[in-house]
């Protein structure tokens, strides 16, 4: 017997999936994602990355946290505050995206296609490739070597699969 569809339970299950997936995505980026990135980059790109590896890097989530704080308070965040705010933005966005996915997944098998891989690909395209440069949170994909997209793309596929897995488990329970 199929469970009754529920937008609210779908959203909550998706949010749980998105939060778990954000953590898994971070673990992926710290380990296999780095290995993948190094394997697809040219020797010159690897040397350049190693030369800058000790420098602290402000990522898109840190820039977004600073932009939000500046909009709300009129003040910019310190480096330490950006380091705390970045993960908050990352997990909040992951939960919101997962919630949207979970709500839509309740009613559409197309949304669930590829066990979350389609969702991960769409999220990468809309968030990383389109929104990040549009909001001046990072460089345009056109300004980066194609190899620079391999690890972030794979991380979003991991995010999508994990979101779907957790969403299905939560919905099976409730």
Q: Where exactly are the structural domains of the chain?
A: 7-38+58-173
- Helix, coil or strand: residue 29: helix
CA dihedral (152, 30, 57, 15) positive or negative: positive
pLDDT tens, per residue, the chain with 174 residues: 668 999 999 999 999 999 999 999 999 999 998 888 888 877 666 666 655 666 678 999 999 999 999 999 999 999 999 999 999 999 999 999 999 999 999 999 999 999 999 999 999 999 999 999 999 999 998 998 888 899 999 999 999 999 999 999 999 999
Distance CA 161, CA 153 (A): 13
Nearest 5°: CA angle at 80, between 77 and 84? 85
Distance CA 156, CA 116 (A): 10
Q: Residue 70 in contact with residue 76, Cβ under 8 Å?
A: yes
Q: How far is CA 161 from CA 43, 130, 166, in A?
A: 31, 21, 9
* 136 phi, psi to nearest 5 deg: 55, 40
Distance CA 153, CA 149 (A): 6
152-167 burial, b at 16+ Cβ within 10 Å, e below that, comes to bbbbbbbbbbbbbbbb
* 5 phi, psi to nearest 5 deg: -70, 140
């Amino acid at each position: 017997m199929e469970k009754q569809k529920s937008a609210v339970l779908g959203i909550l299950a998706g949010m749980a999936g998105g939060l778990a997936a954000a953590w898994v995505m971070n673990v992926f980026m710290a380990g296999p994602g780095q290995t993948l990135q190094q394997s697809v980059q040219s020797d010159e790109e690897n040397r350049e990355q190693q030369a800058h590896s000790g420098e602290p890097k402000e990522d898109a989530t840190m820039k977004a946290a600073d932009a939000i704080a500046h909009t709300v308070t009129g003040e910019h965040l310190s480096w330490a505050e950006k380091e705390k705010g970045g993960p908050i933005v990352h997990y909040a966005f992951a939960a919101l995206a997962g919630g949207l996915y979970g709500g839509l997944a309740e009613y559409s098998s197309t949304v669930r296609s590829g066990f979350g891989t389609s969702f991960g690909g769409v999220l990468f395209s809309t968030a990383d490739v389109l929104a990040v440069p549009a909001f001046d949170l990072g460089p345009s994909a056109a300004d980066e070597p194609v190899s620079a997209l391999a690890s972030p793309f794979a991380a979003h596929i991991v995010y999508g699969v994990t979101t779907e897995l957790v969403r299905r488990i939560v919905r099976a329970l409730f």
